[in-house]
Amino acid sequence: MTALKISSLNRRAFFAFAAAGAAGATLSPIEARKALAKEAMKDDKSAAWYRFPLGDAEVTVVSDGVLALGPISGLYPKVPKDEIEAFVKARFQAPDMTVFQENSLVFNTGDKLILFDSGIGGSKAFGPGAGRLQTTLASAGIKPEDVDAIILTHGHIDHLSGIMSADAKRLFPNAQLMMAKTEFDFWTDEAKTSATGVFKMLVDAARANLLPNKDRLEMVENGKEAVKGVQAVFTPGHTPGHTSYVLNAGGKSLLLTGDAVSHTAISFRHPDWAFSFDADPAGAVASRKNLLDMAVADNLPIIGYHFPFPGIGNVAKDGEAFRFVASPMTL
């Protein structure tokens, strides 16, 4: 066998090397796989959920699916196109199509069943890949009628459109709705009904899901418990009343960042890069840095709504910036 420099391995060299070591084999690995492919490919999707204990409570991450957000350069328009494209390519992400997950979460405190953010519902504004929350909940054995409260991070279409059905029925018939007053007031302000374009789409979705629940609305306050074991942390900027939450149970904690931290790589390495959906870019940057500093200082594990499923990990300081280290799932 000829000596092969490991650093020079490409596929052609790899197979030549493997074949030299497999003299006498009748089928190459590729031929063997073809011979076994007797069944039609299944182009369906799993109802992804992930359950784990948090102290004496239980958390279930329930996927609403994925959003197709388009080119990365459109999402970070202030960063030079070459720079942002090179950044994501170096992390094996496609620069022409950014995909965000939708990680809703159910927190079972033993006393209350709480849903954080409700997915995009029936809207196909960001492709056909999201809107699967109800299917996922059913697969995870969680009945919508058992949910006591829906707590919102903010009023964007991909976080609140699963509250109401397309025909204006409550999908969680027994749930209170909880969010920051600033956020509720912003999206339900009559003056915004004359909005146009994408902002109109956002306003319409927020009004359709919030206004029918006005009679069951409770406001959350900064630093206070929304319900036992759920502390609200105001993180304005992405939207005016954006709120993150710390879940606490039996001495364990988990920080839900919401969209204060939205991109699994960029938000950490370049927390000062403005995201196009941030209503107040400077405020969003300040909130993002403060929240990540808090996660580091308090050694708080976090979950990102838009991170790769299930979106849980830890934050480390990395020079002036941060680093996200995903936690393995315990299956």
Residues forming contacts to Zn ion in the complex (CB under 5 A) are 158, 259
| SS3 of the chain | CCCCCHHHCCHHHHHHHHHHHCCCCCCCHHHHHHHHCCCCCCCCCCCCEEEEEECCEEEEEEEEEEEECCCHHHHCCCCCHHHHHHHHHCCCCCCCCCEEEEEEEEEECCCCEEEECCCCCCCCCCCCCECCHHHHHHHCCCCHHHCCEEECCCCCHHHHCCCECCCCCECCCCCEEEEEHHHHHHHHCHHHHHCCHHHHHHHHHHHHHHHHHHHHEEEECCCCEEECCEEEEECCCCCCCCEEEEEEECCEEEEECHHHCCCCCHHHHCCCCCCCCCCCHHHHHHHHHHHHHHHHHCCCCEECCCCCCCCEEEEEEECCEEEEEECCCCC
The nearer residue to Zn ion, 75 or 147, going by C-beta atoms, is: 75
The nearer residue to Zn ion, 249 or 259, going by C-beta atoms, is: 259
Name the minimum Å distance from CB 271 to Zn ion: 17
The nearer residue to Zn ion, 64 or 259, going by C-beta atoms, is: 259
Name the minimum Å distance from CB 259 to Zn ion: 4
The nearer residue to Zn ion, 170 or 306, going by C-beta atoms, is: 306
User: What is the C-alpha R_g of the chain?
Assistant: 23
Name the minimum Å distance from CB 163 to Zn ion: 15
Q: 176 and 149 in contact (C-beta within 8 Å)?
A: yes
The nearer residue to Zn ion, 159 or 248, going by C-beta atoms, is: 159
The nearer residue to Zn ion, 232 or 261, going by C-beta atoms, is: 261
Name the minimum Å distance from CB 253 to Zn ion: 23
Name the minimum Å distance from CB 306 to Zn ion: 6
Name the minimum Å distance from CB 262 to Zn ion: 6
The nearer residue to Zn ion, 229 or 237, going by C-beta atoms, is: 237
Name the minimum Å distance from CB 18 to Zn ion: 45
